[in-house]
A and B are shown apart, each in its own frame.
Chain A
Amino acid sequence: MELGNIEKILEKYFEATATVDEERTLRAYFSQAEVAPHLEQYKPMFNYFSMAKEEKYTKQVPLKPRVNYYKWLSVAAAVVLTFGIYFGNQYQETKRLEQEKAEFAYEETKKALELLAVNFNRGTEKVAYLKEFEDAKQKIYNNN
């Protein structure tokens, strides 16, 4: 590439009218060891641009989490829900049975107590005769 051409492209470069290809030519020219002395000052500029392009992004990006997390979250929710319904029902069932049993026991106890009360009452009726003795006794006392 002759010097005149480079100078022309350089001028276009600073007016920002050079094409990408022309700019590539410039970078290639300035990457040589031998550069015309009056253009020497531009060397760091183009070399820097070529060098800056070499820089790499080296960090690893942890991509996994989010998507999988949500997928498993729904599965976990479904499992919890199923278990919840299953055991919840069971719990309700046992509670109902327990209540029935308790009610039954209550009724039985009531019946037993009623029976007892009836018998007691019968006893009380009999005891009422004792009053006669009392009356008779009082009469005897009063007579004395």
Chain B
Amino acid sequence: MKQAEFLNVVLPFQDKLFRLAKRLLVSREEAEDATQEILLKLWSKNESMGKYKNVEAFAMTMTKNFCLDRLKSKQAGNLKLVHSNYSDENTSLQKQLEAEDSVNWMERIIKDLPEQQKMILQLRDVEQYEFDEICELMDMKPTAVRVALSRARKTVREELIKKHNYGIG
């Protein structure tokens, strides 16, 4: 496979890889590195790539596993710490902006979800994957996916309502 062909195959879903990585790793730089790593891995396997039925699903699974590994590793632990410090420093500023900037708020709510729910929410609500695709990616049963997704959405709703009421009261 030539470079141009490879890019054509990869182009439609590389943003999805990046967004999933960013959802899990939070920091933009980390996510960019992770995405690059995944794309290079794919490129190094590009002869066997024809064998995979669904390159996108394969790449998404790779991204998921890679990011979870990163989170487990010590390095990412440090990074997480740094990042939460960063957002803590900004809470007062954030509170000022909250009224208009619900994006940050949503991001923080999702950040506090368990990893699995985070991923499923990302795959379904942002990327609009079908349930069977999510099952395959997450290596989970359909019912388990639905339960996790429902739980994630309800948590987000509760947090939003809390915030909404707080804004009024």
- A interface, CB within 8 angstroms of B: 13-17, 20, 23-24, 40-45, 47-49, 51-53, 55-57, 59, 61, 63-64, 66-67
Please judge, given known A-B contacts A44-B106, A45-B157, A63-B3, whether A52 and B126 are in contact too, CB under 8 Å: yes
**Residues from chain A with Cβ under 8 Å of B149 in the complex:** 16
Contact, CB under 8 Å: A42 / B160: yes
Which listed residue, B32, B103, B153, touches A48 by the CB 8 Å rule? B103
B43 contacts A by Cβ under 8 Å: yes
Mask of B5-42 contacts with A, CB within 8 angstroms, 1/0:
01100000011011100100000000010011001100
Contact, CB under 8 Å: B22 / A55: yes
Contact, CB under 8 Å: A53 / B105: no
B164 contacts A by Cβ under 8 Å: yes
Complex alpha-carbon distance, A13 and B3, angstroms = 41
| Min C-beta distance of B105 to chain A, whole Å | 7
Which listed residue, A13, A43, A57, touches B35 by the CB 8 Å rule? A57
Contact, CB under 8 Å: A44 / B105: yes
| Min C-beta distance of A55 to chain B, whole Å | 6
Complex alpha-carbon distance, A24 and B102, angstroms = 20
Which partner residue on chain A sits nearest B17 by CB separation? A57
| Min C-beta distance of A29 to chain B, whole Å | 15
Q: How large is the interface on B (under 10, 10 to 19, 20 to 34, 35 or more residues)?
A: 35 or more
**How many A-B contacts are there with CB distance less than 8 Å?**
79
Which partner residue on chain B sits nearest A55 by CB separation? B19
| Min C-beta distance of B5 to chain A, whole Å | 11
**Residues from chain A with Cβ under 8 Å of B18 in the complex:** 55-57
Complex alpha-carbon distance, A55 and B52, angstroms = 27
Contact, CB under 8 Å: B128 / A24: yes
Contact, CB under 8 Å: B40 / A63: yes
Can you name 9 extra interface pairs (CB under 8 A) apart from A57-B14, A63-B39?
A: A14-B154, A16-B153, A24-B128, A44-B102, A45-B160, A48-B103, A51-B103, A55-B22, A57-B18
Contact, CB under 8 Å: A41 / B161: yes
| Min C-beta distance of B76 to chain A, whole Å | 19
Complex alpha-carbon distance, A59 and B125, angstroms = 25
B147 contacts A by Cβ under 8 Å: yes
Which listed residue, B19, B36, B160, touches A52 by the CB 8 Å rule? B19
Complex alpha-carbon distance, A40 and B18, angstroms = 30
Contact, CB under 8 Å: B106 / A17: no
| Min C-beta distance of B126 to chain A, whole Å | 5
Contact, CB under 8 Å: A47 / B102: yes
